[in-house]
Amino acid sequence: MRTALAICLVALAAGCGGSGPREAELAPAAVREAPSRVRSEGTFSFAAAYSREIEGRPDERYLELSGAVDVVAGTGRLRVSLAGLFEGLPTSDTFDEPIELRWTPTAFRARIEREERSLSRMRARESGGLIGRLPDEPTAVVELLAEAGDVRRVGEERIDGRSTVRFSCTVDARRAGEAGAPAELTKAFEQALHGPTLPLDVWLDAEGLPRRVEYVVRLERVVSDGTQILPPRVVRGTYELSEFGEPVSPG
């Protein structure tokens, strides 16, 4: 009886009964291993939101994404809502309908205001502006974790009812820009114009899969002829990842 009780207590202390490591056992090295874990699943879905934070003003959400990617095949689909980007601006280019994107390693297709447009993937990156670069970002924010430095465990949080461990880290700014993140500022990051690193936070579940990834960019004010055009601001991009291993439909 005493032996059985001892075995039971040891099993409880070790967290037996789960298929992956306990959240409490995740070490900083798990952050760098996360991209490999995602590739082993093959696919993931995501929802992303971008906000601007300016001192003295309410935070402004200006861009929203949703979609899914096949990280093995290099294909994906993405829906972009730009409604917040033009809020309060006197412009006719409001894009009331979401923009639909689909891509392969070589081809890029966009449905904008019910009009289909096709480009090569390379040309879309070079001349398609933010829309042409967006397909690179969901995979980039995951793959960059393999090169994370200054990894620090922040604490434990629950996301959609799932226990996760939050880590903070940084990645090389030039490498981030080359990979395609942040999509809005890839050229600037390729030149490290906003600092040498891109700060990232990642929330890992018990299996080492990233359930949330967030990057933060701090931008200086913009001045022209002595007049401030844009105040200092913080841009925050937050990705919620789910449905790992599920088939990715063409959308």
Say which range, 27-31, 32-36, 246-250, has the weakest mean pLDDT: 246-250
The pLDDT value recorded for residue 22 is: 58
Mean pLDDT of the chain: 86
Residue 167: pLDDT above 90? yes
Task: Quote the pLDDT of residue 34.
Answer: 98
Task: Kindly report the pTM of this predicted structure.
Answer: 0.83
Q: Which of 49-58, 132-141, 145-154 has the lowest mean pLDDT?
A: 49-58
Whole-number pLDDT of residue 227? 84
Predicted local distance difference test score (pLDDT) of residue 7:
30
Asked whether the predicted pLDDT for residue 21 surpasses 70, the reply is no
Query: Each residue of 47-66: pLDDT tens digit?
Result: 999 999 988 888 889 999 99
Residues 228-232, mean pLDDT to the nearest whole number: 81
As a whole number of angstroms, the distance between CA 64 and CA 29 comes to 31
Residue with token string 């095949």: 73
Tens-place pLDDT, residues 80-98: 998 655 444 444 455 567 9
Lowest mean pLDDT among 10-24, 73-87, 105-119, 144-158: 10-24
Once rounded to an integer, what is the mean pLDDT over residues 60-75? Answer: 95
Q: In Å, how far from its chain's centre is CA 39?
A: 15
In tens, the pLDDT along 197-223 reads 999 999 999 999 999 999 999 988 877
* CA dihedral sign of residues 225, 228, 187, 218: positive
Give tens-digit pLDDT for 105-114. Answer: 999 999 998 8
Helix (H) or strand (E) holding 214: strand 210-219
Structural domains present in the chain: 20-242 (2.50.20.20)
Could you write out the DSSP letters of every residue in 66-106? EEEEETTTTEEEEEEE-GGGGTT---S----SPEEEEE-SS
Spatial distance between the Cα atoms of 209 and 36, rounded to a whole number of angstroms: 9
